[in-house]
């Protein structure tokens, strides 16, 4: 599924970037070499990033 139509950023791409980089949607977009255009996607992107980070920390807690 596309999260950002303007930049053609898919959810899987955003999740992978969120695991490699830290920050909000704008920071992750920057890490992908893109910048928000219409900005309508930023709230959803932030939610996906937060979900990915919480899933990532759950995996670390389970491994400990």
Q: What is the pLDDT of residues 4-56, one digit of tens each?
A: 999 999 999 999 999 999 999 999 999 999 999 999 999 999 999 999 999 87
- Residue 57: pLDDT band by 50, 70, 90 thresholds? low
The reported pTM is 0.83
Q: Which CATH class is domain 2-63?
A: mainly alpha
Backbone region of residue 39 per phi and psi (left: phi > 0; alpha: psi in -120 to 50; beta: other values): left
Distance CA 64, CA 43 (A): 32
Delimit the domains of the chain by residue range.
2-63
User: What per-residue confidence (pLDDT) applies to 44?
Assistant: 98
């Amino acid at each position: 599924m596309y999260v950002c139509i303007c930049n053609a950023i898919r959810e899987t791409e955003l999740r992978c970037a969120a695991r490699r980089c830290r920050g909000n949607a704008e920071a992750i977009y920057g890490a992908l070499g893109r910048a928000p255009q219409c900005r309508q996607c930023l709230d959803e992107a932030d939610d996906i990033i937060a979900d990915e980070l919480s899933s990532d920390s759950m995996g670390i807690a389970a491994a400990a």
